[in-house]
Amino acid sequence: MENKTLNQKTLMVFAPLLILTGIAGFVIPERYSLMSGAAPYNLFHIIFGCIGLLVTFTNSDALASSFNLGFGLIDLYQVLASVVGLAPIQYFHWTYADDVLHVLIGFALVIIGGLGLTRIWNGSTADQR
């Protein structure tokens, strides 16, 4: 893990957490959870967690940075969709706790992924390790 960039390290932690979040959503009854336990939302977490894990196996900082930026933007969209009532609200059943986490994680991933891509475009990845 020493030769991994910040984006690669972030994704190595984040991808399994997405998978575990999706599994937990199926295990914990929705009425006892602070988060949405909707099946489509759980599958979304598992699928994107698996994609994230696949990206980590490529050892590509560009892919890891792109995934982090993209997923961060998706998280921020989910907050907007939850507050305004946009799709896929009818399937994901977000809660206030989901919204708070989406803001925090979304901004963090956008910043981390964006910085990584900026460094790649500028030809310098060594200072991100």
Q: What is the CA radius of gyration of the chain?
A: 15
pLDDT of residue 1: 72
pLDDT digits (tens, 9 = 90+) for 9-23: 999 999 999 999 999
The span from the CA of 42 to the CA of 36, in Å, is 8
Cα distance between the two ends of the chain: 10
Confidence of residue 47 (pLDDT cuts 50, 70, 90): very high
Confidence of residue 127 (pLDDT cuts 50, 70, 90): very low
